Structure 1
């Protein structure tokens, strides 16, 4: 009998009595952000905004209802990630990308879960119905199915659904930097020692788009401002991606296999839309604000856009040690 798994996006079920991953009735909960991470970097008492900027939560209060089986699986995954973390870049780079996908996916799904609950409750108070577009239901449903690989017979064959890039990174102190886009399933994570950027449902096309730059980066320990620029490039590339990722999903022998279908140009429509330097500069300025760099500094009249990754004239990679900014 083909394996049939729980999908909360079919009926938009985000109830605290049902395990977020399996749908089983439960009274247990697990934190959205791993406890060891909140303890290590002391951000559990800080607040996080929802997308509409009207609602905030304390990080430590963000919890997902989960079955004992699911909690145990993520606890075991946390131990593997924490062990790799202690070995800096070499430890993280040696990890199977699936583990990074599952670990990152747990946090992104947790944020998505709270976005869904908040929007549902907000609309309910206004007497309106909570609904998602068919496209979003499919995207989030596929993501949820992929995340179930941590406890179910769900495996990946051929091309993977994600772009995950791990690289050495230098901070001057015990700093934890992360950014997320739960709706578009993007995440960046940086500490002193390593960083990674993850697009969890792009079928690898964004890493392919940035392949030339990623090759230039090899062997370099990135400056944090370069890390922010790299994520901005991934984020904006996802924004202008003009095709929805598709998957070949096979259910047989009580197991499910998922293969990402390569994103290819159809007709005259390019894979990526026009790269608007003005929009990208505004996005980048948001990430570079800690350095006092504004959009007007990035785009100056009769000058190429400012970059700390590539020399705008020669396109050579900019050596991190040549960047005279704090790290």
Structure 2
């Protein structure tokens, strides 16, 4: 089994398949970063997408060079995910977690690929050397490796390298709320009657960290403000996660074996940095923007920051009792 690592020679041109590394026959061999069905459904094609260098693209301008056979495999995955989302929460719950990871990873890595291309162009214009974080290169290399499970038989031993959570959310019919944070590789999406949170490279630790909250809302239909509160918790803990996961990778003739290495290190330091209520409040204020809650209101009682997920006794709040717009 041959694994492709574009970070080895920093190859991010449009003549090489982004996933397999094979040379492309023509400039037409490209796919969209965001699935066609998603862009059509929410009329995203011509909406602006801001890159880190402040340049603006439209959603449909974000593309990936991709060999035809691999584009077909990705189209097949998109169709399966589209069908599930169109059939609602119960159908999405049935999707294999690895497939959902691959679907999200393609979008997140696609954005990363376009960011890197923009950075290379900027560097060529300025004549300065490309300054690329080794930590980010390490994370993105591993994300790209795991995304190759789409095209190569890959077995994950000793647990999955990601967290995927799916919730039923009482969304407004036109809702499309997508966020990603590429530095910490965390992602959320709210649409139809579904909300998903994906930590793309945490070996499942964020799910364990928030287990108490997740178990309390399990099986309940959430009000959007409750789902956004959960997102804030996961986005903040992904920021507090202070390990750089390493993986043992063994390619054989039959398949590739990937095993996460233990996250415990010699320092015995906890895996997550200390939770700071004020910083969490700032994150939550951002996620709750549609409802206008301020940081002052959120952390008025620092021991018990404002929550729509649990009440003062720590019991789960029913989404149907929350009288706020669905936003």
2:317 matches 1:321: no
User: Equivalences for 1:163-174 in 2 at 5 Å?
Assistant: 163-174=163-174
Q: Report the CA distance between 1:254 and its aligned residue.
A: 4.7
User: Equivalences for 1:225-304 in 2 at 5 Å?
Assistant: 225-264=225-264, 266-300=266-300, 304=304
Q: Which residue of 2 aligns with 1:223?
A: 223
- Against the structure 1 CA distance between its residues 262 and 95, is the aligned structure 2 distance closer, same or farther, given a 3 Å change threshold? farther
Q: Which residue of 2 aligns with 1:18?
A: 16
In the alignment, structure 2 segments of 5+ residues that lack a partner are: none
Q: Which residue of 1 aligns with 2:45?
A: 44
Q: Which residue of 2 aligns with 1:65?
A: 65
Q: Which residue of 2 aligns with 1:9?
A: 7
Q: Report the CA distance between 1:122 and its aligned residue.
A: 1.8
Q: Report the CA distance between 1:172 and its aligned residue.
A: 2.4
SS at match of 1:10: coil
Separation in 2 of the partners of 1:267 and 1:90? 43
Separation in 2 of the partners of 1:186 and 1:64? 21
Q: Report the CA distance between 1:157 and its aligned residue.
A: 2.4
Separation in 1 of the partners of 2:140 and 2:10? 11
Separation in 1 of the partners of 2:138 and 2:93? 31
**Structure 2-normalised TM-score?**
0.94
Q: Which residue of 2 aligns with 1:32?
A: 33
Separation in 2 of the partners of 1:305 and 1:261? 35
1:26-45, CA deviations, whole angstroms, 9 ceiling, x for partnerless residues? 23111110001111111211
**Stretch moving more, 291-300 or 107-116:** 291-300
Separation in 2 of the partners of 1:147 and 1:253? 19
Q: Is the 8 A contact 1:203 1:262 kept in 2?
A: no
Separation in 2 of the partners of 1:262 and 1:320? 38
User: Equivalences for 1:79-98 in 2 at 5 Å?
Assistant: 79-98=79-98
Separation in 2 of the partners of 1:326 and 1:264? 44
**Structure 1-normalised TM-score?**
0.94
Q: Which residue of 2 aligns with 1:150?
A: 150
Q: Which runs of 4+ in 1 moved over 4 A?
A: none
Q: Which residue of 2 aligns with 1:105?
A: 105
Separation in 2 of the partners of 1:181 and 1:84? 25
Question: C-alpha root-mean-square deviation of aligned residues, in Å?
Answer: 1.6
SS at match of 1:189: strand
Separation in 1 of the partners of 2:262 and 2:223? 32
In the alignment, structure 1 segments of 5+ residues that lack a partner are: none
**Stretch moving more, 260-269 or 146-155:** 260-269
User: Equivalences for 1:105-144 in 2 at 5 Å?
Assistant: 105-144=105-144
Q: Report the CA distance between 1:192 and its aligned residue.
A: 2.6
The count of corresponding residues between Structure 1 and Structure 2 is: 323
Separation in 2 of the partners of 1:107 and 1:37? 11
